[in-house]
Amino acid sequence: MLPILQIGPLAIQTPGLILLLGLWFGLTLAEKLAQIDRIIDPNAIYNLALTALLAGILGARLFYVARYPDIFFNDPLSLISPNTAMLDAFGGWVTGGLAMLIYGQRRKLPLWPVLDALTPALSVLLIATGLAHFASGDAFGIPARLPWSIRLWGEYRHPTQLYETLLAAGIAVLVWPRRRAEQPAGVRFLAFVALSAFARILVESFRADSTLIFGSLRTAQVIAWGILAISTQWIATRLKHQSTAQPLEEAKP
């Protein structure tokens, strides 16, 4: 665990740094792969992700401000504070997603090929999330005395952060673009969603910070099972209509 990297007077939040590096590395890879695939304009991928990121940060701050308008009114400069504690995660996801949709619509980007092209970046980001959790000590496991247990927050625990990192690496290998097996557009992305949900179901059983629903069921597992059911059904539908689906070449911008 290394939540803070102290370099002289500078205290760098390691988890944030890992996530930023993951995002940069993932997007660079996605851009390179898009250049090889020549289905989507590589610049469009980068701009789409950047638009979503900036809109997400802006939305997260504005949603937070909306909760305490009087405090921010007295100190408007806090609107541009870099402190991540003054961000609202829900607001960030909503505005980031909306910005992505609007940008895609305006640029007339084909939805499924774009999502497929973004999948390598999402895979790398998922690995980075596991490593960021390991650095911060978040998403920690239930107490367990195992040869591979880690001492964290006063107990020996399941290293759930490493479980999620390893599973994320496995998902990245499975969904990485391959020339030999061309699937209908969208299947790569949907497979990533399904496998991520499946991985969450597996890891969540060892986490100590779960919330419960319907008595003793873990909320995240119930939601992940729903996502797994929907995404696999969607894959089945796209595979079924493979023969009538639009050829990939037609989706070029």
Partner 1 sequence: MPISSRNFKWIQLALLFFAAAWIAGTSWLSTPGEGSRSASPRAGFPAPSFTLTDLDGDPVSLSDFQGKVVLLNFWAAWCPPCKAEMPAFEALQQAYRGDELVILAVNTTYQDDLTAAQEFVVENNLSFPVLLDMDGKVSNAYQILAMPSTFFIDRDGIIQQVIVGGPMSETLIQTQVRKLLAEVP
Which chain residues interact with partner 1 by CB under 8 A?
3-4, 6, 11, 13, 64, 67-68, 71-72, 74-75, 77-78, 81, 83, 85-86, 137, 142-143, 153-155, 181-183, 194, 198, 201-202, 205, 207-212, 216-218, 221-222, 224-225, 228-229, 232-233, 235-236, 239-240, 242
State the minimum distance, in angstroms, from the CB of residue 204 to partner 1: 8
State the minimum distance, in angstroms, from the CB of residue 242 to partner 1: 7
State the minimum distance, in angstroms, from the CB of residue 108 to partner 1: 28
Rounded CA-CA distance 21/27 in Å is: 10
State the minimum distance, in angstroms, from the CB of residue 214 to partner 1: 9
State the minimum distance, in angstroms, from the CB of residue 157 to partner 1: 10
Contact 125, 20 (CB under 8 A): no
| Torsion angle of C-alpha atoms 195, 221, 84, 16, degrees rounded to 10 | -40
Query: Which residue number, 6 or 148, has a Cβ lying nearer to partner 1?
Result: 6
State the minimum distance, in angstroms, from the CB of residue 81 to partner 1: 6
Can you spell out the DSSP letters for 51-87?
A: HHHHHHHHHHHHHHHHHSHHHHHH-GGGGG---GGG-
Rounded CA-CA distance 69/136 in Å is: 30
State the minimum distance, in angstroms, from the CB of residue 21 to partner 1: 19
Query: Which residue number, 27 or 171, has a Cβ lying nearer to partner 1?
Result: 171
Nearest to 16 by CA among 6, 4, 28: 4
Rounded CA-CA distance 164/156 in Å is: 18
Contact 168, 123 (CB under 8 A): yes
Contact 192, 119 (CB under 8 A): yes
Query: Which residue number, 54 or 212, has a Cβ lying nearer to partner 1?
Result: 212
Residues contacting 12, CB < 8 A, separation 6+: 4, 5, 6
Query: Which residue number, 8 or 147, has a Cβ lying nearer to partner 1?
Result: 8
Nearest to 115 by CA among 195, 166, 188, 44: 188
